[in-house]
Each structure stands twice: as structure tokens, then as C-alpha cells.
Amino acid sequence: MNFKYTAISFALVGTLSACGGSGSDAEVVTPVVPETGFTFVATDLITNLTDDVIVAGYSALAAEGDALLLATQALLNSTSQADLTAAQEAWKAARKPWEQGESHIFGPVDSMSIDPHLDSWPLNTTDLQTQLAIGSGFDAETIKGWNDDVQGFHTMEYLLFGDGVNDNTKLIAELTVAEREYVIALAEVFRDYTAQLDDAWQVSHNPQDANALPYADLLKAPGSDNNAIYSSELAVIEELVNGMIGIVDEVGNGKIADPFGDSLTTADTSKVESQYSWNSLTDFADNIQGVRNVYHGEFTGSADKQGIIDFVAAADSALSIRIASEIDDAILKIQAIAGADDMPFRQAILDETGRERVATAVTALGKLQTSLESDVIPLLSDWNAQ
């Protein structure tokens, strides 16, 4: 019986191959796979983004940390208003790479809790005043042991710019000895943390283990033998896209919407981040600029490299252009909140026409967030990743 079937199948195979000899054999040998998904080689994209955007950003932050420490140290015995202005500018300069970097706030900045050490908000002004009133000879090591709400960006901001209620200028004569000592110690703590963060990306991602790889290497070589964090390029792209979504959500629904409230009466200026320096709108715009950097794969003005835009374009070129314009639109709408008379955010939320401009910006951010979530995220499962 078996023998018979075998014989029959041999006969059939023989007949079919005889046919194949004369017809087109491609259809018979290769099974037809319906064309689903898209193909894209992501290696260059990941390498560019890691080196030219993320690592470059943290290294710029560390450099600004050094500069900020120098600028604050100049204040110790200074009576020159120019020194204070220079320190204020140094603060703003450090703020820029940090805020742009919030679009990729994963890895060491998260695992080493660097974020709260650098950027805790709100500031605990009550405790700060107490420390300034009773303490003296502040040093960095002591301050590191204190709670995060009396150190970092916003404490320095408060000391350098004043309370920000009516203006964001402060006279050098108003700067007390305790404030000068405190801000210098804070800048040193800040410098140390930014250096740690930079090292984690470029030297070793685990400060306790000298043999641990730099975090940049983990990102650039997903799926390699000693990489326990990223198993594939897909995992890296997913992390990057989710990072973008995270900050768009935070700016639109947190940083802007929280103090904005649902009406003029529920608006709360005490919740406005960077309110002392009146730097809020620059912060928000830089946050979305960070999204733009990741999306395009390079800082604005640099030579074109691959970014998430190329990944999206491989699947849908119209979508890639639409997202790019939505990002630019969100940045413009945030900047436009200032209006013709350059109103700071904390004033704009208390102003009828200002509030309209804020609402427009929130809508633009919402639109961008929706596009990223419902149009870009699904591409991850359509991608025929290597």
C-alpha cells in the first residue's frame, strides 16, 4: 500500500518536473508571499542618532555645566552686574541641551535618578530660605545630601534671577553672601551630575562596574552578546519613538496644561516651570526642538543624516513630511504664545488673548502626539526588521 503511494507520488513528481522543464518554473518553486510591511536598514539611523544627537547633547550639557560653575564662581566677590548677567546666560545655555535632551530621557538619566537631582520642580523656596538664613559656607558634598527640591536648575534659577513675579532681572547688589556661596555649591553639584551622565553614555553605563559598556554602545549594537538592554533594532526604534511621544505629552498635557487650568480663575502660576527666569516658553520650545532633533537625526543646521523621518518615509513618504511639519508647527505655536509684546508664559495664562494662544499651542501639540501614537507606532509592526 505504502509502496503504491510512494510510487504514485514519484510518478507525479516526475510528471511535474517534466512540465517545469518547458514552462516558467519560478511560480512553482518559490511560494508567493504577499507584499506586507516595508524594509528599512536602521543601523545608520541608530548610530547617527546616538552619536550626533544624544551623546553630542549630553556632552554639550556637561560642557555647559563646567561653564556654569565658572560663571557662578565669578560671583563670589563680584560687584559687577555683567558677572551676574553672564551667570544668568550660562544658566540658560545649560538649560538648552538639557531641555532638548528630554526627548530621549531613557537610559542612565533615568536609572541613575539624574533627572530629579538636576531638574526637580517645584522648588521648595521655604526650605531654601531657611537654609540661606541659618546656614553658611555651603559646600557641594553637603548639599548633595539634601533633598532634591533645594538644588538643581530651579534653585540656581531662583538665586540668579529672583522670584520672577514682576521681572526676571536681579541686581548684583541684591545677591547676598549666602546666596553666592549656595549657588556656587549648587553649580558644582550640577557639574558633577552632568559629568556623570556624560560618562555613563561614553565610558561606562554603570558607575559601580568599570567593565560595563558605555550606554551609547548598548544602543548602537542591539542584540549583541553582552547587551541585556536592547535585543533588536526594533527595540531601539521603539524606545526613540516613545521618547518623542513622552515629551510631547508632558509639554502639552503637563507643563503647559497644568498651570493653564480650565479657566482664568483656575490658572495657577505657582506651577509654571522656569518662572523665575521667564524661560518657560524657551524650555517648552526646546523640548519640542529635541523631538525635532531625534526626528531628523541631526541638530538643526547640521548636515543631513538619517533620523526617524527616514524610517517613516520608508513606509509612507507623505506621512514623514506631515509629521515633520506638525513638529515645526508645534514649535512655532509655542513660541507664538509670547505674542507681539513678548509676554512670558506665567503672564500669558492670566491674559485672555494670551490664553487663546496657549490653547492653540496645546492643540498643535495634541495633533502631533496623536500622529506619533496612531500613525508612527503602528509602523513598528509593519517593519520587516533585520
Partner 1 sequence: MSKKLTLLAVSIASVIGFGATANVSAATSADDLAKAIAKQEAEIATLKQQLQELAQQQSEQLASQKQIEIAQQKQSVAVTEVSDTVVAAADRYSKFSFKSYGTANFTSDEYFDNVQDTSPERRNRFDLERIVTEFGYQFTDEWSMEVEIEYEHGGTGAALEYDGFDEFGEFETETEAGGEVLVEKAEIRYRPSDAFGVKFGNIHLPIGLSSTLHKPNQYLTVLRHKSEAAMIPAVWNENGIGVYGEIADFHYQAQVVSGLNSEYFRTYDWVASGHQKRFEHVNADDLAFAGRVDYGNFKTGSAVGVSYYYGNTSGNRNKSNKLNVDGSLSIVTVAGAFVEGPWVLRGQYMYGTLSDSDAITQANKTTPGLRPGNFAQLGSKSQSFFVEAGFKLNDYIDIPMTVFANIDYSNPLMEVESGAATQRYENTWSSIGVNYFPIPEIVIKAEGGLQQVAVASIPDTNFFALGVGYQFSL
Assess 142 for contact with partner 1 (CB under 8 A): yes
Nearer to partner 1, 143 or 291 (CB): 143
Q: How far is CA 62 from CA 111, 162, 187, in A?
A: 18, 25, 12
Site membership for partner 1, residue 231 (CB under 8 A):
no
Query: With 0-12 CB in 10 A as exposed, 13-18 as middle and 19+ as buried, what is 378?
Result: exposed
Restricting to residues 188-207, name those near partner 1 by CB under 8 A.
206
Identify which of residues 134 and 318 has a Cβ nearer to partner 1 in the complex.
Answer: 134
Separation of alpha carbons 25 and 20, rounded Å: 5
CB of 71 to partner 1, least distance (A): 25
- The burial of 29, by beta-carbon neighbours within 10 Å (0-12 exposed, 13-18 middle, 19 or more buried), is given as exposed
Helix (H) or strand (E) holding 45: helix 43-48
CB 204 within 8 A of CB 214: yes
Exactly one of 29, 173, 228, 318 binds partner 1 (CB under 8 A); that residue is: 228
What HEC string does 206-224 produce? CCCCCCCCCHHHHHHCCCC
Among 21, 34, 145, 301, binds partner 1 (CB under 8 A): 145
- Of 17 and 130, which CB lies nearer to partner 1 in the complex structure? 130
What three-state secondary structure class fits 383? strand
Residue with smaller CB distance to partner 1, 46 or 213: 213
Listed ranges 18-26, 73-81, 141-149, 234-242: which one lies at the site for partner 1 (CB under 8 A): 141-149
CB contact burial 288-312 (16+ within 10 A = b; e otherwise): bbbbbbbbbbbbeeeeebbbbbbbb
Which residues in 204-223 contact partner 1 (CB under 8 A)?
A: 206, 208
Q: Which CB atom, from 85 or from 206, has the smaller least distance to partner 1?
A: 206
Indicate whether 39 belongs to the interface with partner 1 (CB under 8 A): no
Residues that contact partner 1, how many (by CB under 8 A): 31
**Helix, strand, coil tally for the chain in percent (to 5):** 70, 0, 30
Pull the grid cell for residue 169: 532681572
The nearest distance, CB 224 to partner 1, in angstroms, is 14
- Give the residue with the Cβ less far from partner 1, 144 or 322: 144
Minimum CB–partner distance for residue 78 and partner 1 (Å): 25
Q: Residue 141 or 304: which CB sits closer to partner 1?
A: 141
Strand partners, 383: 38
Residue 28: phi and psi, rounded to 5, are -80, -40
**Is the Cβ of residue 140 or residue 172 nearer to partner 1 in the bound state?**
140
Please tell me whether residue 350 binds partner 1 under the rule CB under 8 A. no
12 phi, psi to nearest 5 deg: -60, -45
Judged by CB under 8 A, which stretch of 88-96, 145-153, 171-179, 292-300 contacts partner 1? Answer: 145-153
Name the helix (H) or strand (E) containing 21. helix 2-22
Length of the chain: 386
- Residue 37 or 116: the one with the smaller Cβ distance to partner 1 is 116
Contact track, partner 1, 102-131, x by CB under 8 A: ---------xxx--xx--x-xxxxxx--xx
Cβ closest to partner 1, residue 94 vs residue 200 = 200
Q: Cell numbers of 268, please?
A: 495657577
**Least spacing, CB of residue 281 vs partner 1, in Å:** 20
Interface mask (CB under 8 A) for partner 1, residues 251-290, using x and -? -------------------xx-------------------
Cell numbers linked to 344: 512670558
Angle made by CA atoms 37, 315, 312, in degrees to the nearest 5: 130
Does residue 366 sit in helix, strand or coil? helix
- Which chain residues interact with partner 1 by CB under 8 A? 111-113, 116-117, 120, 122-127, 130-131, 134-135, 138, 142-149, 206, 208, 228-229, 270-271
